[in-house]
A = this chain, B = another copy of it.
Amino acid sequence: MAASALDTLHFALDRNSPVPLYYQLAQQLEAAIEHGALAPGNLLGNEIDLSTRLGLSRPTVRQAIQSLVDKGLLVRRRGVGTQVVHSQVKRPLELSSLYDDLEAAGQGPTTRVVRNETVPATADVAAALGLAEGAEVTLLERLRSTHGQPVALLCNYLPADLLELDTARLETTGLYRMMRTAGITLHSARQTVGARSATAEEAARLDEKEGAALLTMQRTAYDDTGRAVEYGTHIYRASRYAFDFQLLVRG
């Protein structure tokens, strides 16, 4: 048996907790990696030993390890072992570009709701949301700023019966957070990211010069039943914003 950096580590598993055992183990392994108890390149030691030492079955231990492999923290090699990824990437970004919350991380953003009303769906909006043309949709237009400077103009459409959108709450929290609170589970989103030059009107609203480069994003988001729950057209000042994200290659 090879030596393992795990030998000296202690894991506290609570069988009475409602939290699944594999999840408890995964969290504690992740924490150990995070604060350096498990350094990049360290071998974890084989799964059989680990399971007997923890008093768990091998499939349970495997499930914990697999979840960290999926997150990109560990690598398994048949005939070799499982090691901590040797990486500069400290903590993988979540799919943050999906969330309005992204800017909340650090900047203290403010949101001004410009429009919040019910309108009939135009053809493109109806197509994106899978509704009939003319069906009622909520039109939401917001201007988001940080440090008193506008950053983005967000235009969103939602099925009118989906959710009640309180303007005051929208100015203090993100749209996605409100949807989650209302019991809507986001599942996937399709995005197109491009760029173009600002029109005179856009430039005025974003405090840019006409012709300045803008980053554009169109997105349709789906809940876990596959129903389209949101369609948005966003424009960002390229001078103040960029999308930053991490991709994991599918096994």
Contact surface of A with B, Cβ cutoff 8 Å? 40, 59, 72, 75, 85-89, 92-95, 97-98, 130, 186-197, 211-215, 220, 222, 224-228, 238-239, 241-250
Contact = CB atoms under 8 A, between A and B. Distances in A.
3 A-B pairs with least C-beta separation: A87-B226, A194-B242, A195-B195
B213 A196 contact: yes
Contacts of A215: 193-195, 215
B88 A194 contact: no
A175 to B, nearest CB: 15
A86 B225 CA distance: 5
A92 B250 CA distance: 12
19 contacts: A72-B187, A72-B188, A75-B224, A85-B226, A86-B225, A86-B227, A87-B222, A94-B250, A98-B247, A187-B249, A191-B243, A192-B242, A192-B244, A194-B238, A194-B241, A194-B242, A195-B195, A195-B242, A196-B238
A237 to B, nearest CB: 9
A248 B187 contact: yes
Contacts of A246: 188-191
B197 A85 contact: no
Contacts of A226: 40, 75, 85-89
A224 B87 CA distance: 9
A23 B130 CA distance: 32
Given A186-B249, A225-B85, A214 B195 contact: yes
